[in-house]
Amino acid sequence: MTGQPAGRPHVPDHLDRRAFLRVAGVSAAGAVAAACGTGNPSAPPVTSPSAPPPTTSGPPPSRPPTGPPNWDDLRTKLAGGLVRPGGDGYGTAKRAFNPLFDGNNPVAVAVTSSPEDVQACVQAAAGRVTLAARSGGHCYAGYSVPESGLVIDVAGMNKVDIRGTQAVIGAGAKLKDVYAGLAQAGRALPAGSCPTVGIAGLTLGGGIGVLSRKYGLTCDHLSSAQVVTADGKLVTASASSEPDLFWALRGGGGGNFGIVTEFTFDTDPAPNLTVFSLHFPSGSAAGVLGAWQEWIAAQPPELWANIVISGGSPVQCRVGGCYVGNAPALNTLLNNLTTNAGARPTQRTVKSLDYLGAMNYFSGSSARQSFVASSRIITSPVDPAKVVALADGRAGMDLLIDGLGGKVAEPAKNATAFWHRDALASVQIYAPATAKTRAKVAQSVGDVVTGLAAAGAGGGYVNYIDPALPEWKAAYYGDNVKRLQDIAKKYDPYNVFRFGQSVVA
């Protein structure tokens, strides 16, 4: 993963996207983790007695060579070039979205524009340095900028090709371009809201967004993917080709099994949408949250909504979202919430938009942002008073609670790697930070993560990846983790793609 005057909220040029979300009452649904790096040791694996072992085909990959990569040789094989420390543009080329990771110094950044470029990178450096694929660079833990590792920047593979009811999208495509291409063809794909998030990490972690309740997760629409594996081969993963890998790519997290270069998605006709925002008075957050949890569970899948609990004294709350339908029908549903919330909104915005207009409404500035974040999952209503108490006095921190259910809940929990099919909502804990305040803010976020567990929220969403999340493998993958580990070992037996929170870390 809020008062505005009637009509679409005005977003000033100086207002970054996170600030806009706090104003408009929508979430950062869709920020992603997709890369390799170092981090905390793993929690004990969770076993799944029902998970079938991965199938095998052909001989296992051979052990990668040792010794330093030949960077000069690799540079000659890349159309976009290779940027090394001290070289022109290195400081810019290595940057991720979050400036807190500007101090990370990879040994090289490969600018790729084709699957062959990615293959060349893997063949040159696998087993010699840490490899990290970077699409949008939004990894919350900075794994897409590994210290002394090789960043494989796939931003150049950004095509958005609509072929009838399917979309063939390069791994480097950003959501703003994906939505524009889809809308031009009258098609839609449920995905995230941040305009510069890459389609790759979003999909690989599941893909929560504002249309999830109606159309499902982004990964649920994946029909095939082109993947460069640890031995440098390019394979197609689908239901009929490399089915174990295909299962793992749908929610198993970015960076674990190979580097995806291209996705093919099944799409839906682009809908017209009605967006809304409700701001509630100070002191009403607990009552609104309690009512919201009961309300969202009972709503038709056409309605998606979130609630934003903003820290401070007093705590503030806003409800926002969208509806696949018209304004009169939406207003009836909203009235059901406000009747039971114990407080009337101080401001209420309802506006009808076309598909692209609605996706733009939920986006904002593409400016880089410094923050610390984590997540929890709500499977049944949590104690609203305890949740609101966690935000009391924490100025600047937001708890962005995104409704799930609907289409997300239809597949079985082990039908794809995405485990949280039965979730009522995801919770993103987001707090701005600077290099000087980072440790203090991280401690505050960690305290809220612990408090949310005590209030009844467990688990976590891998696209809001957090090295400090307790028992993170079980939190992200549940009983699917054992099968994910088996698949990772099959396709990457020598841990070429290992990073701090890889499934085999």
**Predicted confidence (pLDDT) per residue in 51-103, tens digit:** 444 544 556 667 888 889 999 999 999 999 999 999 999 999 999 999 999 99
Class of domain 160-269+478-491: alpha beta
152 pLDDT band (50/70/90 cuts)?
very high
Nearest residue to 357 via CA among 1, 17, 16, 9:
9
State the pairing for strand pair 234-238/303-310.
unpaired
Q: Which of 55-64, 342-351, 359-368, 422-431 has the lowest mean pLDDT?
A: 55-64
Tally of residues, the chain: 505
Q: Which two tokens stand for residue 382?
A: 């949590």
DSSP annotation string for 262-276: EEEEE-EEPPPEEEE
CATH of region 72-153:
3.30.43.10
**How many angstroms separate the CA atoms of 342 and 263, rounded?**
46
Tracing tokens 């919430």 back to the chain, one arrives at: 337
**Predicted confidence (pLDDT) per residue in 344-356, tens digit:** 999 999 999 999 9
Q: Which two tokens stand for residue 150?
A: 């090789």
pLDDT of residue 153: 98
Do residues 134 and 152 make contact, with C-beta atoms less than 8 angstroms apart?
Answer: yes
Most distant pair of Cα atoms in the chain: their distance: 68
Contacts of 439 (CB under 8 A, 6+ apart): none
Tracing tokens 């001290």 back to the chain, one arrives at: 86
Span(s) in the chain for CATH 3.40.462.20: 17-23+272-476
Do residues 170 and 177 make contact, with C-beta atoms less than 8 angstroms apart?
Answer: no
Q: Is the pLDDT of residue 40 over 70?
A: no
Do residues 408 and 296 make contact, with C-beta atoms less than 8 angstroms apart?
Answer: no
Q: Mean pLDDT over all residues of the chain?
A: 90
361 pLDDT band (50/70/90 cuts)?
very high
Peptide bond preceding 49 in cis form (omega within 30 of 0)? no
pLDDT of residue 22: 39
Q: Which fold has domain 17-23+272-476?
A: Vanillyl-alcohol Oxidase; Chain A, domain 3 (3.40.462)
**How many angstroms separate the CA atoms of 102 and 91, rounded?**
8
Span(s) in the chain for CATH 3.30.43.10: 72-153
Contacts of 460 (CB under 8 A, 6+ apart): 374, 375, 376, 377, 466, 469, 472, 475, 476
Percent of the chain with pLDDT over 90: 86
- SS3 of 450, please? helix
CA angle 414, 419, 423 (to 5 degrees): 125
**Predicted confidence (pLDDT) per residue in 187-209, tens digit:** 999 999 999 999 999 999 999 99
Q: How many CB atoms lie within 10 A of CB 57?
A: 10
**How many angstroms separate the CA atoms of 141 and 164, rounded?**
37
Nearest residue to 211 via CA among 337, 303, 275, 274:
303
Helices (H) and strands (E) in the chain, counts: 15, 18
pTM of the full structure: 0.89
**How many angstroms separate the CA atoms of 234 and 237, rounded?**
10
Beta-ladder partners of 251: none
- Across the range 442-464, mean pLDDT stands at 98
State the pairing for strand pair 131-134/150-153.
parallel
**How many angstroms separate the CA atoms of 319 and 335, rounded?**
13
- SS3 of 447, please? helix
Span(s) in the chain for CATH 3.30.465.10: 160-269+478-491
Q: How many CB atoms lie within 10 A of CB 288?
A: 27
Half-sphere CA count of 495, side-chain side, radius 13 A: 10
Q: How many CB atoms lie within 10 A of CB 156?
A: 16
Q: How many CB atoms lie within 10 A of CB 344?
A: 12
* Axis crossing angle, helix 285-298 with helix 327-340, rounded to the nearest 10: 130
Q: Which of 6-10, 142-146, 314-318, 422-426 has the lowest mean pLDDT?
A: 6-10
- Across the range 403-431, mean pLDDT stands at 98
**How many angstroms separate the CA atoms of 334 and 345, rounded?**
11
